[in-house]
A and B are shown apart, each in its own frame.
Chain A
């Protein structure tokens, strides 16, 4: 009994295998390329081995390796066999997919239990676990869309999106150049810099602080993306109008956060500066700005997301025939959903990298903050 409890996923996997075995074959009788006898047997064998090994009291590393191989090999065989047979999968096919997914789950939870012995190992684990997790999202997506024959328009399988990405690199590159390198980057830099400078001015000039701050708080709560059509009217169809939208969207979060950050230093620290007869700018540079850094980085992170959304959505309102938002809005009209997904994938990748770079810079500058000290 304790043996069974050791791996709930293992028990479930074996049960699924049994049911699948009873309900063979994997595909409908009129499928053009049915699974061979040997392939089916191999898949069942792999899954059974993985499930049985998950009970064995061998080393954790050995168990993880066997699980890693069996789960993914079985999934690979199952997905490989479905091409050409879209929509022909039967219950047993999905049961085996679910069984190999359970093994993958077991693999991740065993990995998460490992107490890493060295820094490199910790790093590798930190990458491996989300990588396996992400791989399984793609595997399930692929198996379900192809196996059940979900219409392409509704949700194309990841393999089709990948084919579209690799097949349209020049178009995607041109779109990224137009939207990211021009509108987003320019707008983000100018918007954040302007928000920061105005925050310092407001700190210095009392009437600005009293007048501008309530407006800033109001504006940062508004869906500023609504100004996009107006910006297109003012600044034309090209990237400048999108950059203007990004500037407006990123300005207020930076303003509000920086002003809050400038007030974040403690009263003893400020008295200390006063006791040195420190001037306004010295106190600003040596105390108040460093103390404001967590707030400023907060704005930089929020703005990295806002800038991307702003530039893409602003292109829906008029643009030359290039750009990520333009591509999304025209290709969806032509039912080329794989191209839309390709743009979304590229945007997601760039957005993550953008956010990641800002987060890394934050870790490097605010290492002293209690929330960062441990790592």
Chain B
């Protein structure tokens, strides 16, 4: 029982205190140690996350993959200070999540586009800029630039409901890119879109990641999507939500869409599938 072993390890670890607390490398953007989160519900406690250890380095593209309810969203929300961990340690850019949030360290792309219907696309992208009090000229320039980046130039004057689902999600990505956050948190941003649109957006996202040099944490349900996009794939399993495998991708940074037919790609996909299966059989 591997779980038993890690538990024992943990205990011995704890008796020794926390030697690693500030040893996160300077390039580390997200650093989680024995992170745990338990929701107190009416039906008793729900262990959404337990004993999660993870380092996200600057410039990484990290995918989180696992079945529903394994705590992917919860982990992202803890990084974003939308949820508080109940155990362990986490730092974002060397700060607590709350400090990082107040320093506007990340842009969050939710599962739904969450564009405000009373604002045009342009003004939706300008929303964080208004809140962060950028000058009008700066706002205009950044809106233009980020809309170009997600191929939405010319749609700035439309209202969100006049656009397709894929375009709306691209606008919400533009909104997260508009200000100077180096970390992008994306929770199944393309989950509701069909596969053709999704392939297209994945390729665009990779290009965007290469040009902007952001660090991206990306939640997905899809194995090919995870393998195609990531430099690092975090495989998770539920009840309690935990990390079962962390796979460093050997694929080059430059990835045309047909890289998905190469043996190297398939080998990584296979390992992810194995990791998911291991997490699953463990349940029974």
**Which A residues contact B (CB, under 8 angstroms)?**
266, 268-269, 271-278, 282, 286-287, 290, 293, 366-370, 373
Contacts and interface: CB of A to CB of B under 8 A. Distances in A.
A162 B124 CA distance: 54
B108 A277 contact: no
B131 A282 contact: yes
Contacts of B159: 368
B234 to A, nearest CB: 21
Interface in B226-284: none
Interface of B: 80-82, 101-104, 106-108, 110-112, 114, 116-118, 127-128, 130-132, 159, 161
Give the 7 A-B residue pairs with the shortest CB-CB distance, closest first. A368-B117, A368-B118, A275-B108, A268-B114, A278-B131, A277-B102, A276-B131
A272 B108 CA distance: 7
Contacts, number: 52
15 contacts: A266-B114, A269-B116, A271-B82, A272-B110, A274-B81, A274-B101, A275-B101, A276-B127, A276-B131, A277-B103, A287-B116, A366-B118, A368-B118, A368-B159, A368-B161
B114 A286 contact: no
B225 to A, nearest CB: 22
A373 B110 contact: no
A370 B116 CA distance: 12
Residue among A276, A278, A369 facing the most chain B CB atoms (10 A cut-off): A276
B82 A275 contact: yes
A126 B159 CA distance: 28
Contact of A275 (B106, B111, B112, B161): B106
B110 A286 contact: no
A272 B114 contact: yes
Nearest to B83: A271
A269 B161 CA distance: 16
A287 B116 CA distance: 8
Given A274-B82, A275-B82, A290 B104 contact: no
B112 A268 contact: yes
A293 B106 CA distance: 30
Given A269-B114, A274-B101, A277-B101, A286 B131 contact: yes
Nearest to A373: B161
A369 B110 contact: no
A226 to B, nearest CB: 40
Contacts of A290: 116, 118
B128 A369 contact: no
B82 A276 contact: no
A253 B104 CA distance: 39
Contact of A268 (B106, B110, B131, B161): B110
Contacts of B130: 286
Given A272-B114, A368-B117, 16 more contacts: A266-B114, A268-B112, A269-B114, A271-B82, A272-B110, A275-B82, A275-B101, A276-B131, A277-B103, A277-B104, A277-B131, A278-B131, A282-B131, A286-B130, A366-B118, A370-B161
Given A277-B104, A290-B116, A368-B117, A271 B161 contact: no
Nearest to B104: A277
Nearest to B98: A277
Contacts of A367: 118
Contact of B110 (A271, A293, A366): A271
Contacts of A369: 117
Contacts of B80: 275
A105 to B, nearest CB: 40
B78 to A, nearest CB: 13
A158 to B, nearest CB: 44
B128 A276 contact: yes
Contacts of B81: 274
Nearest to A293: B118
